Structures are given as structure tokens and as C-alpha cells.
Amino acid sequence: MKSTERVPARHLRRLKQVRAEVAAEAARIIATEGQHNYRAAKKKAAERIGASERLALPSNIEVKEALRTYQNLYGGVQHQSNLDQLRTVAIEAMRLLEVYNPRLVGSVLDGTADVHSRIALHVFCDSPESMVLHFLENSVPFHQEQRQKRWHDGTYRTIPLIIFELCDTAVELSIFDPIILRQAPPSPIDGKPQQRATLADVECLLAESLTPAAGTGPL
């Protein structure tokens, strides 16, 4: 009887280990293969490892932490340099769109962006058509997309997107009604209100990154 009671504990330990392996492989896929859909990365990782999708898929939070670990181990100076460049372009885009109260979100803000990442901004206006008109009047090439987003009440909303290039970098604008400035939409990672940053916030982030640490400058 005692031996059978120990089986569930061993099973749980093994399941936890497999989930960690899938999270690590999903993180590697995101970091190196340009796959930014967490669910797709997890399914691909489980398939490679030979793990059951039904039992062994880690949470998005577990994958995010594994991605941070991977980038800390293998990203080094190149990762930080790429991140600084993306934030520099984000600042330029936010200045150009300042009338629309832009907010930086996603991987460029949280520091997990890679060379394949888009700069993701939330912008706010009364109608998507006015944003389209802004780009047409300024002769800026762009294209439109849509994304289904799960909201705080469990319903799904269709979010209009505009994608354009700035300094050879893709910038994705999610267009929201101005009332959404009061509460951020749910994060696709953990469902909590999404972290957002103003232009001033991003300028501070970049300045902190580019400022040499005390004691590391020339003598």
C-alpha cells in the first residue's frame, strides 16, 4: 500500500520535469525561429520532445520565464543591443503618433524581444478610419490586419491593426477606443491587465540601459 502511495508523487515530479523541458524548448523556438505565438511554440516543443500535449504543456508564464533564462544565458550583449535599437525605434514611432497617446506593450517593453519581433503599440482614437486617414495623408505605406483578443469578461473582441515599417522595423498598432486608456486589455501571457508604457517611460528605460554602470567607465 505504501509503495503505491509513492507513485503519484513520482508521477508529479516527472510531469513537472517534462513541463520544464517543453517550456525550455518552446523558449528556444521563440528565441531562434521567429515563432512568437506561445501556444504554437509549446505544441511544436512537445512534439519534438515526444511529450503529451494534453498533460505536459506548460503555462505561458512558465515559457516566458524560460525565455528570459535562455536570453540571459545566450543573448548577451547582442540581445541587449537589439533591444536598445528596438526601443529607439519605438520612441521615434511614439513621437510621430503622439496625438494618439501611444503605449508600448509586449516583448520590446518587457525585454524578451528578438530580431524577429515587431514593435507593438497601443494607440487610441475614435475610429480606425481616422488612423487609416492619418497614414494616407502622410503617404506612409501600411497594411491592415485584425486580431481576436479575449477580454476581461471572457468575451472576444476584434482589434483592428495597422502595420508599417520605420527604420526597417515592423511597427504594429493596435487601435482602441480612447476609453481603453483607463484600463489595459488582458495580457496574452497571464490574463492580467497588460503592462503598458508611455513615451516618457520608454525614454527612461532606454536611458537606463545606455548609461554605464558606476565604476565601469574609463579611469
Distance CA(95)–CA(89), nearest Å, equals: 10
Give the predicted TM-score (pTM) of the model: 0.84
Q: What is the pLDDT of residues 43-82, one digit of tens each?
A: 999 999 888 777 778 999 999 999 999 998 888 899 999 9
112-116 average pLDDT score: 90
Q: What is the pLDDT of residues 182-219, one digit of tens each?
A: 999 999 898 899 999 999 999 999 999 887 654 444 43
Please provide the average confidence, as pLDDT, over all residues in the chain. 89
Could you tell me if 144 and 132 are in contact, meaning their C-beta atoms sit under 8 angstroms apart? yes
How many CA within 13 A on the CB side of residue 187? Answer: 17
What is the CA 18 to chain-centroid distance, rounded?
24
Instruction: Give the containing element (helix H, strand E) for 158.
Output: strand 156-166
Distance CA(14)–CA(23), nearest Å, equals: 14
> Given the DSSP bridges, would you call strands 103-105 and 119-124 parallel, antiparallel or unpaired?
antiparallel
Residue 105 burial (CB count, 10 A): 22
